[in-house]
Amino acid sequence: MSISHQPVRVQGDPETYVSFEARDITDLKRSEETLKAFAERLDLATNAANIGIWEWDLLTDALHWDQKMFNLYRIAPTDPDELYDLWRLQVHPDDLPAVEREVARTIEGQGLLNTEFRIIRPDGATRIIRAHAQVQVDDNNVPHRLIGLNQDITEQRNMEDELRTLASTDPLTGASNRRQFMSRLSEEFERCKRYNTSLVLLSLDIDHFKRINDTYGHPSGDDVLKELVILCQSTLRTTDLFGRVGGEEFQAALILTHIAAGNNTAERLRRRVEQTRVSTHGEVISFTISIGITALRPEDNSIEDILKRADDALYEAKRSGRNRVVQL
């Protein structure tokens, strides 16, 4: 119950009376408790998800942030009239034009804002922010408020990037794995066929690699594989494709390259490997590679055609003595 009282005087009566009012506020209290519990749950959820809530008054241009927004951006509470300019200073300059265009389109279309951008905090740290917002309109259907939230998704994006890397990269050498290489080779094959451009494919592996493992041990063999990848990546262009497709087997696709230039690249790589010495686990290991090379032909209907020719050329290089480049 809620009870209130106040003094009452009656004209001509010397006595002072007290008026009491009693109200049953059970339902009101229950509503308050429910609202409080909801607010506590919301607070826990926004803390756990690293979410800040904001409101932008489009009529006064005042921007209001809750405390979590200030924590998110690592800035002290600021006057609402100055907050928008401060926010613009923290958005990454490469992302700011696109973000402001998205906000303007959302207000004009009276729809939902859903965008991502980078911010640079005062300590120099770069974070990735996901922003959601919705426009509110008045009785005349004129936008007057934008209410939204910001969420720091940096760790989520980093984890996604790491998973993508793990899914496409050989964990030992850092080269593209077989699935990633074949996927990109298929795309490049279709592009070359469509636009009638050139492509050279190299298939290579380490000569007598089993002997290296048996003589020096598998950890030393792993170091030889890593060294070969370093040599390949430093010899090839950044536009070329390169991947580990088997134990000691690698392939490279030289983009917009004719067979003569491809032969020069393959021979240069073969010589670099032959001259390399790998210091590992107290041993110095020298090794060689065999390379099969072929160019895309008009009659090739699929990547299997060019892959088979490159493998046949590699087999011929090994059969004829290893440490050489063979073209088919």
Domain boundaries in the chain? 42-168, 169-327
Is the pLDDT at 244 greater than 80, yes or no?
yes
Q: What is the pLDDT of residue 111?
A: 80
Pick the CATH number of 42-168 from 3.40.50.720, 1.20.1440.120, 3.30.450.20, 3.40.50.620: 3.30.450.20
Q: Is 322 left (phi over 0), alpha (psi -120 to 50) or beta?
A: left
Tell me which fold the domain 169-327 belongs to. Answer: Alpha-Beta Plaits (3.30.70)
pTM confidence score: 0.60
Coil, strand or helix at 55: strand
- Give the CA distances from residue 229 to residues 148, 155, 223, 240, in Å, rounded to whole numbers and listed in that order: 48, 30, 10, 14
Q: Helix axis angle, 218-235 relative to 209-216, nearest 10°?
A: 140
Sign of the Cα pseudo-torsion (76, 77, 82, 83, in order): positive
Q: pLDDT tens digit string along 49-108?
A: 578 889 999 888 889 998 889 999 999 998 988 899 999 999 999 999 999 999 999 888
Q: Helix axis angle, 178-195 relative to 154-168, nearest 10°?
A: 80
Is residue 135 within 8 Å of 106, Cβ to Cβ? yes
Annotated active-site residue in 55, 108, 248, 299:
248
Is residue 53 within 8 Å of 68, Cβ to Cβ? yes
Q: What is the pLDDT of residue 197?
A: 94
Catalytic residue status for 162: no
Report angle CA 244, 246, 251 to the nearest 5 degrees.
45
- Give the CA distances from residue 251 to residues 6, 38, 141, 266, in Å, rounded to whole numbers and listed in that order: 93, 59, 62, 11
Is residue 299 within 8 Å of 188, Cβ to Cβ? no
Is the pLDDT at 40 greater than 90, yes or no?
no
